[in-house]
């Protein structure tokens, strides 16, 4: 055992024996070093370990403080941040494993590319390629193609969100938008709040940037648990939240306007920034597009990230962030990484969006996804054992399934992969020491003999699952 672990352990005993009151300041690093006889570095490491365990927290320049009685903090949980390579490798291996063309891709994150095919967009691309347009070869430097930014800004305005083209920065897909936003708003060691079950990209990015992650659980009814949120921001010096509130990946819920309004007030009161991952915003089944947090944002505290990846094709790698006053910082980061986004595609998208083609395409896409999701849902609730719960929400193309606690989602994933069917195991989306008994199904593929057969295999395996194979 390292000295710092030894010290952390003995301090933990002191904490549990109630030596310090909630929010009481702990001895300074220097004091602790003198008392304990350990070096300053050892003391620092021990404090950081306790902080990572959620037992104490730090305030800049003021030192370390006791959290509320750790036993009462059941809602907000910290995550220990030393598994960087392991997590990333898991996801890496997962993504590689499901890439093969002969695999039924229920596990992938993208909708069936057949549904995203827009003849008009490809026609536009083809026409642009015919003419000797010199600016296709020129990079459109940050913040990106002005016409495209104007059209994106218009779409915000149509929802009642005042937007200027200069608020928008075009990025290399939605993931790039998230990552640039995180880099702009945080520095290593900052606290960030995530949903407990969330798109794995969020885990990767926060770990890579050395952020301290606080999670709040998903509310079974409302999606976002406001009490847990309040609890978390009261107990930890959270600087930024990264949340999905519309058609959340992997679960699928959309948070109500009432709760979004409350959330906006809390962000304002506590001066916390929100990075909103809203890449599924267009895939609602109802009559009205759900509002983004940007609608409720009075203080420029929300960076809204979205993309064309889930509507026109993830292969294009075009996303954006409503960056507002952070536009310049984000552009600075682009000048050191991707420089800009493919100008040929940006030009074509700008032309395409200036007609009504996109709206028509989206309407068809939504109708198709709605039909398919219903078909999959009906099939699954009919054929899965009663002790499985299929979570249906009227948007997107994921179905999140809670299996009985004894069924290991990872085993389901490995078994199905042997039969050339991919599913996404719950373990990609949360961290738990319990058996990860969830799976996510992509239901954007037409039901035909092959996909139907794959679903049969899945439901049969689950129905006859034996806990000790």
- For binding to its own copies (CB under 8 A), which residues are involved? 30, 40, 88-89, 91-92, 95-96, 99, 110, 113-114, 116-117, 119, 122-123, 125-127, 129-130, 132, 134-141, 172-173, 175-176, 179, 201, 204-205, 208, 309, 312-317, 328, 331-333, 335-345
Question: Closest distance between its own copies and the C-beta of residue 137, in Å?
Answer: 3
Closest to its own copies by CB, 175 or 245: 175
Closest to its own copies by CB, 120 or 411: 120
Question: Closest distance between its own copies and the C-beta of residue 277, in Å?
Answer: 14
Closest to its own copies by CB, 37 or 119: 119
Closest to its own copies by CB, 9 or 138: 138
- In three-state secondary structure terms, 273 is strand
Give the C-alpha separation, 177 to 303, whole Å: 9
Question: Closest distance between its own copies and the C-beta of residue 125, in Å?
Answer: 4
Q: Phi and psi of 10, rounded to 5°? A: -70, -35
For CA atoms 296, 393, 310, 213, give the dihedral sign.
Answer: positive
Closest to its own copies by CB, 124 or 231: 124
Contacts of 66 (CB under 8 A, 6+ apart): 15, 20, 21, 22, 23, 24, 26, 55, 56
H or E element at residue 48: helix 40-52
Question: Closest distance between its own copies and the C-beta of residue 94, in Å?
Answer: 10
- Residues paired with residue 284 on neighbouring β-strands, in sequence order: 395
Closest to its own copies by CB, 200 or 236: 200
CB atoms closer than 10 angstroms to residue 125? 18
Question: Closest distance between its own copies and the C-beta of residue 365, in Å?
Answer: 12
Question: Closest distance between its own copies and the C-beta of residue 431, in Å?
Answer: 17
Q: What is the DSSP letter of 249?
A: T
Q: Phi and psi of 273, rounded to 5°? A: -90, 150
- Label the pairing between strands 223-224 and 212-216: unpaired
- In three-state secondary structure terms, 100 is coil
Closest to its own copies by CB, 254 or 307: 307
Question: Closest distance between its own copies and the C-beta of residue 194, in Å?
Answer: 15
Q: What is the DSSP string of 289-313?
A: PPPPGGGG-SSS-EEEEEESTTTT-
Question: Closest distance between its own copies and the C-beta of residue 348, in Å?
Answer: 9
Closest to its own copies by CB, 267 or 341: 341
Closest to its own copies by CB, 273 or 316: 316
Closest to its own copies by CB, 207 or 225: 207
Beta carbons of 214 and 245 less than 8 angstroms apart: no
Burial of 227 (0-12, 13-18, 19+ CB in 10 A): exposed
- In three-state secondary structure terms, 38 is coil
Closest to its own copies by CB, 54 or 143: 143
Question: Closest distance between its own copies and the C-beta of residue 274, in Å?
Answer: 20
Burial of 26 (0-12, 13-18, 19+ CB in 10 A): buried
**Greatest CA separation for the chain:** 77
- In three-state secondary structure terms, 127 is helix
Question: Closest distance between its own copies and the C-beta of residue 98, in Å?
Answer: 10
Question: Closest distance between its own copies and the C-beta of residue 252, in Å?
Answer: 22
Closest to its own copies by CB, 231 or 343: 343
Size of the chain, expressed as the number of residues it contains? 469
Question: Closest distance between its own copies and the C-beta of residue 88, in Å?
Answer: 5
For CA atoms 45, 211, 298, 145, give the dihedral sign.
Answer: positive
The helix, strand and coil proportions of the chain, stated in percent and rounded to the nearest 5, come to 45, 15, 40
Give the C-alpha separation, 327 to 279, whole Å: 19
Tokens of 113: 């590319």
H or E element at residue 235: helix 226-235
């Amino acid at each position: 055992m390292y000295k710092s672990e030894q010290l952390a352990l003995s301090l933990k005993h002191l904490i549990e024996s109630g030596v310090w009151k909630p929010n009481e300041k702990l001895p300074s690093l220097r004091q602790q070093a003198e008392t304990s006889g350990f070096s300053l570095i050892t003391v620092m490491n021990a404090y950081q370990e306790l902080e990572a365990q959620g037992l104490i927290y730090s305030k800049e320049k003021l030192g370390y403080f006791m959290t509320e009685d750790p036993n009462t903090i059941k809602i907000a949980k910290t995550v220990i941040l030393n598994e960087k390579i392991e997590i990333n490798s898991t996801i890496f291996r997962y993504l590689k494993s499901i890439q093969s063309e002969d695999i039924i891709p229920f596990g992938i994150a993208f909708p069936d590319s057949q549904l995203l095919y827009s003849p008009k967009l490809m026609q536009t691309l083809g026409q642009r390629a015919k003419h000797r347009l010199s600016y296709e070869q020129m990079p459109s430097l940050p913040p990106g193609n002005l016409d495209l930014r104007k059209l994106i800004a218009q779409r915000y305005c149509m929802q009642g969100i005042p937007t200027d083209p200069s608020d928008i920065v075009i990025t290399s897909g939605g993931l790039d938008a998230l990552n640039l936003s995180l880099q702009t708003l945080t520095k290593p060691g900052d606290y960030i709040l995530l949903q407990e079950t969330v798109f794995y990209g969020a885990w990767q990015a926060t770990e890579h940037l050395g952020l301290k992650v606080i999670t709040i659980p998903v509310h079974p009814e409302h999606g976002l648990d406001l009490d847990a949120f309040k609890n978390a921001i009261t107990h930890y010096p959270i600087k930024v939240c990264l949340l999905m509130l519309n058609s959340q990946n992997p679960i699928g819920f959309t948070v109500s306007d009432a709760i979004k309004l409350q959330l906006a007030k809390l962000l304002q009161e506590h001066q916390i920034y929100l990075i909103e991952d809203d890449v599924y915003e267009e895939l609602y089944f109802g009559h009205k597009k759900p509002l983004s947090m940007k609608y409720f944002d009075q203080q420029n505290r929300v960076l809204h990230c979205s993309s064309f990846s889930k509507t026109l094709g993830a292969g294009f790698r075009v996303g954006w962030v409503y960056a507002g006053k952070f536009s310049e910082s984000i552009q600075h980061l682009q000048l050191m990484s991707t420089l800009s986004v493919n100008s040929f595609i940006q030009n074509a998208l700008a032309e395409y969006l200036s007609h009504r083609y996109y709206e028509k395409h989206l309407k068809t896409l939504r109708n198709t996804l709605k039909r398919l999701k219903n078909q999959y849902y009906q099939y699954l609730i009919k054929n899965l054992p009663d002790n499985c719960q299929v979570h249906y929400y009227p948007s997107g193309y994921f179905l999140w399934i809670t299996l009985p606690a004894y069924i290991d989602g990872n085993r389901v994933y490995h078994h199905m992969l042997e039969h050339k069917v991919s599913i996404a195991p719950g373990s990609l989306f949360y961290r738990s020491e319990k058996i990860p008994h969830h799976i996510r199904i992509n239901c954007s593929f037409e039901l035909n003999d092959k996909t139907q057969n794959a679903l049969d295999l899945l439901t049969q395996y689950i129905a006859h699952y034996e806990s000790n194979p």
